[in-house]
Amino acid sequence: MLAQNDISMDTEGEALADVAYGLFEILLNRHLKRGGHFLFELVESGRDFKEEFTAAFLAFAEDYPELSEALLTGYGTADAIYDLFVSGEGVIPTKTTRIFWILQDAPGFAPGLANTEKAGKWLIFLERDEADEMWKKIRDATSEGRLGISAKVSTAKQNPESRDERMVIYVHTADWADEDDVMKIRESLRSMGVEQRIGYKRNIETFQGEYSEKGKKVTYYSA
């Protein structure tokens, strides 16, 4: 039987491995984009990208040796990690259990732009069996520059901070005060099949820790 401190160490090790996994995925995506590809594109097309993956992993190990060690301790081998990506981990929301969110930025997106007080996002809550298809539409439109500045979707990894059992997609815009742009993106979402009324939340409220509760509304737009 494991002692309590052994369990804690195992839990901490798993958490560090997942953090390392999330960081590596970001760096892998950047490496692939420099070669003109997206991770989702390679996975969904069934193309072998082992060579690109290996180059990215070696660079990660050199720059972050401790995280690389945690990653290998948690997942076994680099080949095992590659197989996870091929199976849809980090690409398909309902098949992703290692990270809480999958992100997709628009072309030319400046890191941090979605996290300023000027920005905001449309919130789309979906049942699990609807999330993968809708995310693919929104992800593709975002990656092609036809939607907002970035988007992200929750995954199958259980999040203790989640306030809703449904999955959610955020579609970020650069400026909540630019109503024309915000509503243009809303119409684009409607054309993709998001016909239900959805809310738009400004980052101002998010930064202040304000969330919808009974009798309290924090969405700035609703359409």
Looking up residue 133, the CATH number of its domain turns out to be 3.30.760.10
- Structural domain includes residue 96: no
Q: Check pLDDT > 70 for residue 148.
A: yes
Q: Verify that 194 and 105 share a domain, yes or no.
A: yes
- d(Cα 121, Cα 119) in Å, to the nearest integer? 7
- Cα–Cα distances in Å, from 142 out to 104, 121, 138, 169? 7, 13, 6, 12
Q: Verify that 129 and 187 share a domain, yes or no.
A: yes
- d(Cα 92, Cα 156) in Å, to the nearest integer? 9
For residue 148, what are the domain limits? 101-222
Q: What is the pLDDT of residues 161-212, one digit of tens each?
A: 777 789 999 999 999 999 999 999 999 999 999 999 999 999 888 777 655 5
Average pLDDT over residues 38-67: 95
Q: Check pLDDT > 90 for residue 155.
A: yes
Q: Verify that 107 and 210 share a domain, yes or no.
A: yes
User: Which residue matches tokens 């099949």?
Assistant: 193
Smallest CA-to-CA distance from 79 within 48, 107, 102, 110 is with: 48
Q: Where do the H-state alpha helices sit in 64-202?
A: 65-75, 78-86, 128-143, 179-191
- Structural domain includes residue 183: yes
Q: Verify that 72 and 105 share a domain, yes or no.
A: no
When divided into structural domains, the chain yields a total of: 2
Q: Verify that 87 and 106 share a domain, yes or no.
A: no
- Structural domain includes residue 55: yes
- Structural domain includes residue 52: yes
Q: Verify that 71 and 115 share a domain, yes or no.
A: no
- d(Cα 16, Cα 113) in Å, to the nearest integer? 27
pLDDT of residue 164: 77
Q: What percent of the chain has pLDDT over 90?
A: 71
- 2 compared with 19, residue with greater pLDDT: 19
101-105 and 120-126 strand pairing:
unpaired
b/e string for 214-223 if b means 16 or more Cβ within 10 A?
A: eeeeebbbee
Cα end-to-end distance, the chain, whole Å: 55
Q: Verify that 8 and 110 share a domain, yes or no.
A: no
pLDDT of residue 116: 83
Average pLDDT, the chain: 87
Q: Verify that 140 and 205 share a domain, yes or no.
A: yes
Q: Verify that 73 and 176 share a domain, yes or no.
A: no
Q: Verify that 164 and 194 share a domain, yes or no.
A: yes
Residues 165, 171, 174: CA angle, nearest 5 degrees: 140
- Structural domain includes residue 25: yes
Q: Check pLDDT > 50 for residue 5.
A: no
- d(Cα 20, Cα 1) in Å, to the nearest integer? 28
Q: Check pLDDT > 70 for residue 214.
A: no
- Structural domain includes residue 146: yes
- Structural domain includes residue 168: yes
Residue 13 — pLDDT band, cuts 50, 70, 90?
low
pTM to 2 decimal places:
0.86
Average pLDDT over residues 130-153: 96
Nearest-Å Rg of the Cα atoms of the chain is 19
pLDDT of residue 54: 97
Determine which of 20-34, 157-171, 208-222 has the lowest per-residue pLDDT on average.
208-222
- d(Cα 135, Cα 141) in Å, to the nearest integer? 10
- Token representation of residue 188: 């684009």
- d(Cα 219, Cα 156) in Å, to the nearest integer? 25
Q: Verify that 39 and 69 share a domain, yes or no.
A: yes
Smallest CA-to-CA distance from 148 within 105, 112, 111 is with: 105
Q: What is the pLDDT of residues 104-136, one digit of tens each?
A: 999 988 767 777 889 999 999 999 999 999 999
- Structural domain includes residue 203: yes
Q: Verify that 124 and 214 share a domain, yes or no.
A: yes
